[in-house]
Amino acid sequence: MTARLDGKVALITGAGSGMGRAAAELFASEGARVVVTDVVDDGGNATVAAIRAAGGDATYVRADVSKWRDCEAMVQCATDTYGALHVLYNNAGIFPGDDGGVLDTPETTWDSVMEINLKGVWLGCRAGIPAMIASGGGSIVNVASFVALMGAATAQIAYTASKGGVLSMTREMAVEYARQGIRANALCPGPIQTPLLEELLSDPVRRARRLVHIPMGRLGRAEELAQAALFLASDDSSFMTGASLVVDGGITAAYVTPE
């Protein structure tokens, strides 16, 4: 059976831990040559080491997605190292602890969330799309969130607004580049058990408040999101573009959640 990303070059931002690392390892196991980017060098290098230890091919480049020059450089690394770019997985994002309600969130927090979560996706696509066109097309996977589709039960105004922007931007670029062989889809996760979320939900009361809204009664796993990302990255989703793939344990389907 042919690996689903055999011969493809994939660039994954924020791949030093959590969902990004899980996706990088899975994509490599499915035949992709993977460019791992992060701002934490130890994490990025550890992801590459794990991929190589499993027999895969990966390289690491440090990139702050809020900076245009870094986005240019990460795409250049992909084309210089592997000669092409077929999959762009814009996964990098932040969720500061002081991101709260409209009246409570500091302006500096709003700005930093927008710089990374929204502008970072735009810059990644701005750098990556020309390389993908030159490579014959490919798939863009942008990480939005279930809160792009509905309001969050716990106030997080900057994060929610940034992910709504990612969702709308993904639709527009899907339309713009569909006839140039590029698909663009948004992945909309529910709460996923990553180091970032574990830190935010270290308070048992805050954790319980989140879990009560998930019909399945648990957080998602990074590996489950990686499988969804693989579907969007591969030709398994060849007639999908401008779509939102929701992987949220049933949150957006529920009106009243189970006790």
**Cα distance between residue 2 and residue 30, in whole Å:** 8
Residue 37, pLDDT above cutoff 90: yes
Per the DSSP assignment, residues forming a β-bridge with 61 are 37
Query: pLDDT at position 200, please?
Result: 60
Sorting pLDDT into bands at 50, 70 and 90, what band is 211?
confident
- Amino acid 119 reads K
Q: What is the mean pLDDT of residues 58-86?
A: 98
Signed CA dihedral, 8, 18, 171, 112: sign only: negative
Structure tokens at 122: 């735009």
**Residues 128 and 140: beta-carbon distance below 8 Å:** yes
Query: pLDDT at position 76, please?
Result: 98
Which three-class secondary structure string do you get for the chain?
CCCCCCCCEEEECCCCCHHHHHHHHHHHHCCCEEEEEECCHHHHHHHHHHHHHCCCEEEEEECCCCCHHHHHHHHHHHHHHHCCCCEEEECCCCCCCCCCCCCCCCHHHHHHHHHHHHHHHHHHHHHHHHHHHHCCCEEEEEECCHHHCCCCCCCCHHHHHHHHHHHHHHHHHHHHHHHHCEEEEEEEECCEECHHHHHHCCCHHHHHHHHCCCCCCCCEEHHHHHHHHHHHHCHHHCCCCCCEEEECCCHHHCCCCCC
Structure tokens at 162: 């940034």
**Cα distance between residue 184 and residue 27, in whole Å:** 17
Sorting pLDDT into bands at 50, 70 and 90, what band is 20?
very high
Mean predicted lDDT score pLDDT of the chain: 93
**Cα distance between residue 206 and residue 95, in whole Å:** 15
* All structural domains of the chain: 9-192+221-247 (3.40.50.720)
Query: pLDDT at position 218, please?
Result: 84
pLDDT in tens, 132-163: 999 999 999 999 999 999 988 788 999 999 99
Query: pLDDT at position 2, please?
Result: 81
Query: pLDDT at position 258, please?
Result: 47
Residue 237, pLDDT above cutoff 60: yes
Q: What is the mean pLDDT of residues 225-251?
A: 97
Residue 30, pLDDT above cutoff 50: yes
**Residues 159 and 165: beta-carbon distance below 8 Å:** no
Looking at 60, 159, 177, 255, which residue is catalytic?
A: 159
Residue environment code for 228-252, b if the CB has 16+ CB neighbours within 10 A, otherwise e: bbbbbbbeebeeebebbbbbbbebe
Residue 177 among the catalytic residues = no
Q: What is the mean pLDDT of residues 24-39?
A: 98
- Amino acid 1 reads M
Residue 255, pLDDT above cutoff 80: no
Residue 206, pLDDT above cutoff 90: no
Residue 85, pLDDT above cutoff 90: yes
